[in-house]
Structure 1
């Protein structure tokens, strides 16, 4: 405002007048477009239930894209004020744009893949995801070209978005119930009666613990003899914890492991370990 007022007293010649008018027009245009860009984010978040329709990450994408659009429009308007025609420049860049597009296919592929990730809500910031053989960690940022994932060793890894379109992505944070799937090896000297009692005791322990375990017809408790392995009789223990939180899951697993050991000891059995018997033939 002070600049506008001060220029009133400097209009002594036509050249200076035109120059100052262009500066004033440029500043006014910049302020208008900057103000509009600053109102975009508050305006979006004032729309009722907008976050139920679009994810927070997608909203950030749209807001940033609109800010870029308004920046380009504002810059073009300023160029027009100074007599620089934008339309011929855009037309002249047409062939150049085609060449750039052909050379930037991976960039557009990553951009489209990133948009699909956000629209389909495959994952969001804070989710733990796994891409088999590529990455496992916590999503920190979903960008236009790549996604930042914090690995469990605390290193930060950037994965091109097209990897999420070309590979299966497992969202661990979407797990409804975490599964326990153990093979427990018992010694071959265990009797049939002991094996049946151990299986029954483990199953009762899990079924009766409604607080820690989720037992339904679709998530049954399985405690069965699985196979006769090389050094053990293997019992399969499969059940679902009544949580999707990893730390709570570890506590439940710890308690179940101790319970199983107590049951095996109670039935006078022992856990097997890999062993070999060596027979020496005498001549």
Structure 2
């Protein structure tokens, strides 16, 4: 594809090189020769800029095609269009300045004016540019993709439903509403992606029982509540640890791995519900916060 796009411009560059060589040997008036030479060089600069822009555009499209599963086809096209417009604008400005200098037209005031205008425009649109470049950074870094379940450093969790150029949309797990986060904020945030590097997830559940409970019996009941579930990994096997003797309870920790992080809340609900029922059935009490006060006469 790149070869077909650059074949035409390269052909014209070769023709212009031949015309330039012929111009050097033609017996023309010096002023006419200089003028024609500048015209040819101006055309060469224009074609070279077009050639460079085409190569960069095709490279950008190829790079985005490899990431279309992250961004989606529609967003990929949107990013290509915006990037192409920015690139074409930069190429046009550079082409304009080079040609002016070639014709010995003073460009310093123009460059200064463009610098001031660019500073004012950049300051006015700094948030928009920050979000757009933040979106490009997220795509390049592949921090997450549509469908991933992530947790923000603010504590909010949800499924990524859209990655735009200016913002990312997340479906909140707790409330089910849509959270819209500017990409510039996401780039600077600490994000937990439960889908990376694999969909397996380690889960930890803490359970407290009353003092006087038999430790071995409690471990057996809790381990049974976990191992009977189907969506758990057999390796590493589930484990139950006696963690501490707290103020009003004996605290145990259940550690196990599940096959898919998307099942974490469903499995957590089943484990806790089963543990509560089994402990009650075995006569093992689950305490509530208590405090014993001794009074001395």
Deviation at 1:276, TM superposition (A): 1.8
The answer to whether the aligner puts 1:176 opposite 2:199 as a matched pair is yes
The answer to whether the aligner puts 1:237 opposite 2:254 as a matched pair is yes
The answer to whether the aligner puts 1:202 opposite 2:222 as a matched pair is yes
Q: Residues 169 and 181 of structure 2 are in contact (CA less than 8 Å); yes or no, is this contact kept in structure 1?
A: yes
Q: Corresponding residue for 1:118?
A: 139
Secondary structure of 1:234's counterpart equals strand
> Bigger shift: 162-171 or 135-144?
135-144
Q: Residues 153 and 191 of structure 2 are in contact (CA less than 8 Å); yes or no, is this contact kept in structure 1?
A: yes
Which of 113, 136, 149 lines up with 1:128 in the alignment? 149
Q: Corresponding residue for 1:31?
A: none
Which of 213, 216, 231 lines up with 1:212 in the alignment? 231
Write the distance in 1 (CA, Å) between the matches of 2:179 and 2:224: 45
Which of 88, 92, 95 lines up with 2:116 in the alignment? 95
Q: Structure 1: which 5+ residue stretches go unaligned?
A: 1-39, 74-87
Secondary structure of 2:261's counterpart equals coil
Write the distance in 1 (CA, Å) between the matches of 2:157 and 2:226: 30
Post-superposition Cα deviations, 1:145-170, rounded to whole Å, max 9, x if no partner, equal 33233434344443221222222111
Which of 269, 272, 275 lines up with 2:287 in the alignment? 272
Secondary structure of 1:257's counterpart equals helix
Q: With structure 1 as the length reference, what TM-score do the two structures score?
A: 0.61
The answer to whether the aligner puts 1:147 opposite 2:138 as a matched pair is no
What are the equivalent positions in structure 2 for 1:240-255 lying under 5 Å apart?
A: 240-246=257-263, 249-255=264-270
Deviation at 1:201, TM superposition (A): 4.0
Q: Residues 188 and 233 of structure 1 are in contact (CA less than 8 Å); yes or no, is this contact kept in structure 2?
A: yes
Q: Residues 185 and 271 of structure 1 are in contact (CA less than 8 Å); yes or no, is this contact kept in structure 2?
A: yes
Deviation at 1:233, TM superposition (A): 0.8
Post-superposition Cα deviations, 1:42-79, rounded to whole Å, max 9, x if no partner, equal xx7xx8x9456773346234333267469989xxxxxx
Deviation at 1:119, TM superposition (A): 1.5
Write the distance in 1 (CA, Å) between the matches of 2:295 and 2:275: 38
Q: With structure 2 as the length reference, what TM-score do the two structures score?
A: 0.58
Q: Corresponding residue for 1:167?
A: 189
CA 1:68/1:134 → structure 2, altered by over 3 Å: closer, same or farther? farther
| Count of aligned pairs between the two proteins | 219
Q: Residues 208 and 249 of structure 2 are in contact (CA less than 8 Å); yes or no, is this contact kept in structure 1?
A: yes
When the two chains are superposed, the root-mean-square deviation of aligned CA atoms in Å is: 3.9
Write the distance in 2 (CA, Å) between the matches of 1:205 and 1:251: 14
Write the distance in 2 (CA, Å) between the matches of 1:214 and 1:164: 33
Secondary structure of 2:254's counterpart equals strand
Post-superposition Cα deviations, 1:185-240, rounded to whole Å, max 9, x if no partner, equal 111122xxx21122134335534x473211324xx422011101111111111212
Post-superposition Cα deviations, 1:100-129, rounded to whole Å, max 9, x if no partner, equal 224544443332221110122212234332
Write the distance in 2 (CA, Å) between the matches of 1:154 and 1:251: 16
Q: Residues 224 and 235 of structure 1 are in contact (CA less than 8 Å); yes or no, is this contact kept in structure 2?
A: yes
Write the distance in 2 (CA, Å) between the matches of 1:154 and 1:260: 28
